[in-house]
Structure 1
Amino acid sequence: MVSVLVVDDSVVVRRLIVDALSADPGIQVVGTAPNGKVALSKIDMLKPDIVTLDIEMPVMDGLTTIKEIRKVHPRLPVIMFSTLTSVGASATLEALASGASDYVTKPANVGSVSESIKSVREQIIPRIHALCRTGTPPRGAVRPAPRLAPPPPRAAAGAGAGAGTPDIVAVGCSTGGPDALAKVVNALPATFPVPVVVVQHMPQVFTKMFAERLDRSSPLKVVEAQGEMTLTPGTVYIAPGDYHLEVARRGTGVVTHLQQGPPENFCRPAVDVLFRSVAKAYGGSTLGLILTGMGQDGKRGSEALVSKGAEIVAQDEATSVVWGMPGAVAGAGLAHSILPLHEISQHLISRVAGGRMARSRG
């Protein structure tokens, strides 16, 4: 049984969340709090397995609260509740950078209480189970992890890791992804010689704010992708919320393409859609990277890449907030390397930039 503390200044929203969670027999709401100050005392008293935390509250808001929680409870999962606005997106990204585990958006423009409850239930229950999964190591736990996976069976002879220098890096991530992606991208040099295309599961507004935030902190240029943008080295292209991102060859270059086809793996944008298009445009000259995330989006796309001879890297379980997406890829034998987060950037530099230096000397 997963115990939950619900923190929100609105009586109506607290009731809505409690009702949404009551539908799951494996979840028990052990308490509620109207602000962060009360929540901190109740965490110590009730010792919940997970906390849902509103951002905008009197007395002590969500941003202050998550920072205080992390001082004492560095591994306690916390899910933020956010509004689908620029202000809400900015605050949510700040909360994630301060240690929040994940977030859900508050229902907007729904016609009834029952629809609001359904919206919250569909977003939050899978996240609670993913973050509190039995047998999953706590966030930040130190545990030896394998560095090398068995060679993917679908890779052609001589393909994959070490076979050649990648011409693009394609990244997929979800829960815990904003922080993980920031750590990877911020450690890459401004001279990184290939483009980076990214699907991070996020709604509209959030992806634009995320790209702008990452652009301010990274040596690379980071943009929210638009249609028909020519891919250039040293630039990171973030898939916009509610649009699938694809790449396609146009003459001597490669451009972005946005489309609103059906969601895949309940996601739009979806990693599988991006990876399939990258496999078609770049084939084996690709390095695919699967970071922390819930579900298994990216597994089929990785199959497509591996079939072309591409290299796949998965983040390890010990450093993932949720080892769903990378775990699915690793479990299927598709990952050439399974690395802790702090080693991924150097691996990319070695494979992409280092490979070009070696080639130029030759």
Structure 2
Amino acid sequence: MMSGEIKKSFKVLVVDSHVLIRQILVSIFKEMDEVQSTVSLDLKSVQEIENEIDRIQPDVLFLGLDADTKDEIQLVESIRKNRPGLPVVIMAPLSKKGASITLKALKLGAVEFITKPDRNSGITLSKRHFRKRVVPLIRVIGELNTNLLSVIQSSDLTIPDVEKVLDQKPQKLSSSVELVVIAGCTGGVKELFQLVSELPTGLPTPVVIVQHMPKIYSRKFASELDRITEMNVREAQNDSPLIPGQIYLAPGGYHTIIKSDGYRKVLGIHKGPRENKNRPSIDVTLRSATQAYGNKILTIFLSGGGVDGIAGAKNVYESGGKIILQNSESALLWNLNQKISEQIPDLDHHPTKDIGSKIIKNLFGKKPARSIRYPVKG
């Protein structure tokens, strides 16, 4: 169940090795009515940080990490194990190392992430960057599914890598669905690791994923997803044909669209204006998808907040496509799906563990005859 009322007096703990970042965040929180107090600390040992958490009893932790090191992952693991009800927001560099540590932390149960601006950018630019992300984040922290957060388990080591199976052919489609679109925001990354690992080889449709994520991070995310499924996962590219059984991830910093190119459907990416403050935008992708595929779309909305996706859901619904919502009990943040369900009644709501089978049922009419995964041999 949801926590109910939005908390209006947060105690915030900021932990980062860079004093300027700590100062900027403290100044932003001081301006917010929702924040009662803010404490900032240097990034110290695991034990020292945990002692401070026990002393301060924060409502949310903004944790700055700089590299994919054993010590930093150990800190995240320890906090999640010993204080599972504490929401942890990761702050990491916009780099390959930053992407790696962030994805590991999200799989361990961190609720969200913020990229750190380049150290060479001025204080004004840095403050503007953080304010855009921090202010809306604080305002949804109180809407997180606290029951799920308290019991959430790490998925980091539960999904084995798989080898690619090159000779698999898509099975014959037994439904009218020709495209699957999966959309997510806060809480969606962890769900996508589980969902993608459960999809069988030989899907008769392409899959397009739109997850709010910056450049560099989305490339690393596609690479990580590619390791846990027999299907190929790659970032969307201009004029790339949509091939059944392939998964395409919207690249950070670009909108991903779908176009008809004669007899085939292809992807396009562009740096158009942000929609709903996002690029990639779920609405942009779904609007183009309904124009290209009409009613032959199955859209899954995972955990997330904000409003990006509401207009897209309406496009899919009005075109006659199908929509599945992750339900409130299994979603870390049900803010977006709640808004969609209020505007489009009678949609199917399912827990995370059932969504994979629901996709398969919509595509095949029943469970496919073969769904074999091949663990990588050590």
Amino acid at match of 2:342: G
Amino acid at match of 2:28: A
Structure 1 CA distance for aligned equivalents of residues 148 and 264 of structure 2 = 41
Structure 2 residue 181 is the aligned partner of structure 1 residue 189: no
Give the direction of change, closer, same or farther, for the CA distance of 1:124–1:323 in structure 2 (3 Å limit). same
Q: What does residue 138 of structure 2 align with?
A: 128
Shift of 1:62: 3.3
Aligned equivalent of 2:338, options 309, 327, 333? 327
Shift of 1:216: 0.5
Q: What does residue 58 of structure 2 align with?
A: 48
Shift of 1:334: 5.3
Identity fraction in percent: 31
Structure 1 CA distance for aligned equivalents of residues 348 and 257 of structure 2 = 25
Aligned equivalent of 1:70, options 68, 80, 87? 80
Give the TM-score, by structure 1 length. Answer: 0.87
Contact map agreement 2:184 2:302 (CA 8 A) in 1: yes
String of CA shifts for 1:121-153, please: whole Å, max 9, x gaps: 2211211221223x85443479xxxxxxxxxxx
Aligned equivalent of 2:358, options 341, 344, 347? 347
Amino acid at match of 1:47: Q
Q: Which residues in structure 2 correspond to 1:137-152 (within 5 Å)?
A: 137-140=146-149
Match of 1:139, SS? helix
Structure 2 residue 96 is the aligned partner of structure 1 residue 86: yes
Aligned equivalent of 1:251, options 262, 266, 283? 262
Structure 1 CA distance for aligned equivalents of residues 313 and 69 of structure 2 = 47
Structure 2 CA distance for aligned equivalents of residues 109 and 4 of structure 1 = 23
Q: What does residue 238 of structure 2 align with?
A: 227
Shift of 1:25: 1.5
Structure 2 residue 226 is the aligned partner of structure 1 residue 215: yes
Aligned equivalent of 2:128, options 118, 129, 136? 118
Contact map agreement 2:297 2:321 (CA 8 A) in 1: yes
Structure 2 CA distance for aligned equivalents of residues 230 and 58 of structure 1 = 35
Match of 1:48, SS? coil
Give the direction of change, closer, same or farther, for the CA distance of 1:337–1:28 in structure 2 (3 Å limit). same
Shift of 1:324: 2.1
String of CA shifts for 1:323-349, please: whole Å, max 9, x gaps: 122222112125620111111111001
String of CA shifts for 1:87-129, please: whole Å, max 9, x gaps: 1111111111121111001122665323322221221121122
Give the TM-score, by structure 2 length. Answer: 0.83
Structure 2 CA distance for aligned equivalents of residues 3 and 342 of structure 1 = 34
The alignment of Structure 1 onto Structure 2 pairs a total of residues equal to: 337
The two structures, once aligned, show a CA RMSD in angstroms of: 2.3
Q: What does residue 20 of structure 1 align with?
A: 28
Shift of 1:10: 2.1
Shift of 1:167: 1.1
Aligned equivalent of 1:32, options 40, 49, 74? 40
Contact map agreement 1:193 1:352 (CA 8 A) in 2: yes
Structure 2 CA distance for aligned equivalents of residues 62 and 294 of structure 1 = 28
Q: What does residue 157 of structure 1 align with?
A: none
Give the direction of change, closer, same or farther, for the CA distance of 1:167–1:334 in structure 2 (3 Å limit). farther
Give the direction of change, closer, same or farther, for the CA distance of 1:58–1:103 in structure 2 (3 Å limit). closer
Give the direction of change, closer, same or farther, for the CA distance of 1:243–1:334 in structure 2 (3 Å limit). farther
Provide structure 2 residue ranges, at least 5 long, that are not aligned to the other structure.
1-8, 152-173, 370-378
